[in-house]
Structure 1
């Protein structure tokens, strides 16, 4: 059985670095920032702010004691109000510079495809350090969290970053919701997926 620890506000910087390291090579990451040098400069700072926002907003961030994998969950109620993008726009401009609009497009499409009007937990990010990928670590983390959701009768939602990730999540009980969508300008597809709670 996997052992996980709950991250706190003080861990945002380390979480951001871990997510960045795991996400460098994703097609969506390269669509947002095509220049590798800029990506290595911008993404860590961006993910630090994302982690801080989730931790400060009541999200659940779990990671391994070795700090080689992290799962970022956002509990979402059917009655939650629409988020106010004002403050976040300021963060994007400051942190992402010339790439801020790409981030806005990416996040806007994510929001448009996100389920509304139903209680669920959103797996915003599952990041495993590259040298630990493919060893079942991420799957074990997700399945451990699913046990809690199943006890509470709550569904889960995510966007798989590509066909390989989609197949992994299918094995964990996720199904297409309703199907893939493509980033503009010939960008890659993302795969929204939903997991119904198991009794």
Structure 2
């Protein structure tokens, strides 16, 4: 599915490299700082564990990861209808997170419940869910980011797929909007004064240029 005119993109199953990019990119993200506060001494290890378990889970259940050759930028997404999870699959995922994260799991659980329970009701059927889109702050260039964004446009136009994602900060929301994505639904509110998460949507009839 990656555009053949963009040879720098490739499917990736290199969990370690994907996780490194995500942990670096979201280290100072407000949602990740709420889940794993800065004062936690093992914060980077907790971030790595969360992303490792999550990426393994998504790739095992129909998800895909695209990356540039050195994983300067990564895109993790699930196609329409995926992941098609049984109750046992979800329980196994949660147990792995709880075992790896210990006391930090409570905020992860609250985060996952908020995403599920407060997702926009007006979403149409058959959309791609972009779980993570990130570039490594120590490796990437603007060209890597533009390539990633081009991949998203290709999903919309060449494959005629709608895209849903959640922006974890106002700064990222502005980037999504510049790309033509639109806000949809209400903010997803995390408990205990946590930051808002902003649902976004793009389709072939929208403003993506």
Separation in structure 1 between the aligned mates of residue 141 and residue 29 of structure 2, nearest angstrom? 15
TM-score (norm. length: structure 2): 0.84
Aligned to 1:37, the other structure's residue is in SS state coil
Runs of 4+ residues over 3 Å off in structure 1: 80-83, 113-117
Gaps of 5+ in 2: none
Alignment match, 1:138? 145
Aligned to 2:162: 155
Alpha-carbon distance in 1 for matches of 2:199, 2:86: 20
Q: 1:129 aligns with which of 129, 136, 158?
A: 136
- For 1:193, which of 181, 195, 200 is the aligned residue? 200
Distance 2:184 2:146 in 1: 20
Cα distance in 1 between the residues matched to 2:10 and 2:183: 30
Matches within 5 A, 1:1-199: 2=6, 3-8=8-13, 11-34=14-37, 35-77=39-81, 83-84=86-87, 85-114=90-119, 118-132=125-139, 135=142, 137-198=144-205
- Normalising by structure 1, what TM-score? 0.88
Q: CA RMSD in A?
A: 2.3
Contact 1:143–1:172 (CA<8 Å) still a contact in 2?
A: no
Contact 1:19 1:47 (8 Å CA) reproduced: yes
Aligned residue pairs, count? 196
**Offset, 1:82:** 6.0
Q: Which has the higher helix share?
A: 1
Secondary structure of the corresponding residue to residue 197 of structure 1: coil
Shift of 1:104: 0.7
SS of residue paired to 1:123: strand
